[in-house]
Amino acid sequence: MLDMASLSRLTKRRFDPIANYNIEGDPLVKPNACSTIIDSSLLSHDIIELRTSAQHSYKEFTQEEFCSRFQGPLARYENIAIPLSSIDKPVHDIDQDAQQMQTALGKFQSMRLKQRLEETLEIPPLPASSHRIIQLCSNEHAGTDDLCDVISLDPSLSAQVISWASSPYYGVRGEIESVEEAIIRVLGFDMVMNLALGLSMGSALQLPKNGPRHYEDFWFSSVSHAVLMEELVRKMQSDRPRLGHAYLSGLLHNFGYLAIAVVLPPHFGILSRYIEANAHLPSDIIEMQTLHFTKEQLGAWLLKHWGLPESIYTAVRYSRTEDYDGPFSKLAQLLQLCHQLFNDQEPDESLLSTLGLSASDAKQSHHKVISSSSELSKMVDLISGSK
């Protein structure tokens, strides 16, 4: 992992990472034409591999060949990388997350260690509409009329749900004119309840302005995960999670990212630069090095603090934990599969087997979502308020 802090100490300068690959040719065609700092750990390897772009294969260099290219006065070897083996991992038990995050906050904020995490973090309040929907979730006898009544109390939310159901993505003929129609004709009770909850929660946290550049829009990623979760659940033959819970898990899977930006803005800026400089690494590794906890831990804690169903915050918390097999593991595993598909990784065979899905099912579902990007962008506009 490239250590931006080490670079700053060595050069007395602050660098901004850029996303750039040579289109073709040797990536080191003029290696001595500019100042170059190379991590000294490379000197311990007999073979060093480089590639010209993410789409090209690696080219091998012996250590002697590599070093011969960097013999001029502009080249230097320094310790500028962090071994992944030295980076701590998140605690395995969700019940220990608060302590790990509290300890981290005490470390990098020089705060007195407090007994309760919510005393340290300024948690934004949950919208009133979200509170009402959460209360409805716990009512086993709630019906369509109850849900319509709750959503109708927020005209903006009502309009969002109706527009969502009218999206070309669902291909419904004729106009959807009410929340009741959205429930009965298109989305279903469970889906609308969880969709409305996700939409209302979207207003609680604002999108950060200093996030990683060149990265996918936050809400587009959220909506894409949500609809892919929906598609995958429909493909499952047995032991399906609730469709609405799957959808909401996808919609909120990255909510910890927003939470970090809101409650820890200076550290979020640092995290963003490290993500840009280390695009080759999973985000949780970078978060553990810079924050000492992950966005999944903070996101799950926040969702639990707000009173969301256990299935949702548990799935979010363990969405990056490959060996998790505890409660609501199917939802967590579906999110893992979504991460693999959106990162263009080959779906893990054991994961597919556990979920009762074939590789072709997973890839077809992913292709359907990717092919519908223009329709999904319009749905994202309903959340972000963009025109």
What residue ranges of the chain have pLDDT lower than 70? 19-29, 52-55, 107-124, 213-216, 384-387
What's the pLDDT score for residue 25?
Answer: 57
Residue 191: other Cβ atoms inside 10 A:
24
Terminal Cα distance for the chain, rounded = 39
What's the pLDDT score for residue 50?
Answer: 82
* CA 245/CA 197 separation, integer angstroms: 11
Cα-atom radius of gyration of the chain, to the nearest Å? 23
What's the pLDDT score for residue 111?
Answer: 41
* CA 177/CA 182 separation, integer angstroms: 8
* CA 195/CA 3 separation, integer angstroms: 40
What's the pLDDT score for residue 28?
Answer: 62
The residue ranges of every structural domain in the chain are 4-81, 94-120+205-384
Q: Which residues of 36-63 are buried (b: 16+ CB within 10 A; e: fewer)?
A: eebeeeeeeeeebeeebeeeeeeeebee
Topology (CATH level 3) of domain 94-120+205-384:
Hypothetical protein af1432 (1.10.3210)
What is the chain's percent helix, strand, coil content, to nearest 5?
A: 55, 5, 40
What's the pLDDT score for residue 67?
Answer: 86
What's the pLDDT score for residue 375?
Answer: 86
* CA 1/CA 3 separation, integer angstroms: 6
What's the pLDDT score for residue 112?
Answer: 41
Q: Is the dihedral of CA 217, 167, 157, 243 positive or negative?
A: negative
Nearest alpha carbon to residue 310 among 127, 89, 119, 134: 134
CB 228 within 8 A of CB 338: yes
Burial class (CB in 10 A: 0-12, 13-18, 19+), 216: exposed
Q: What is the pLDDT of residues 111-122, one digit of tens each?
A: 443 444 666 666
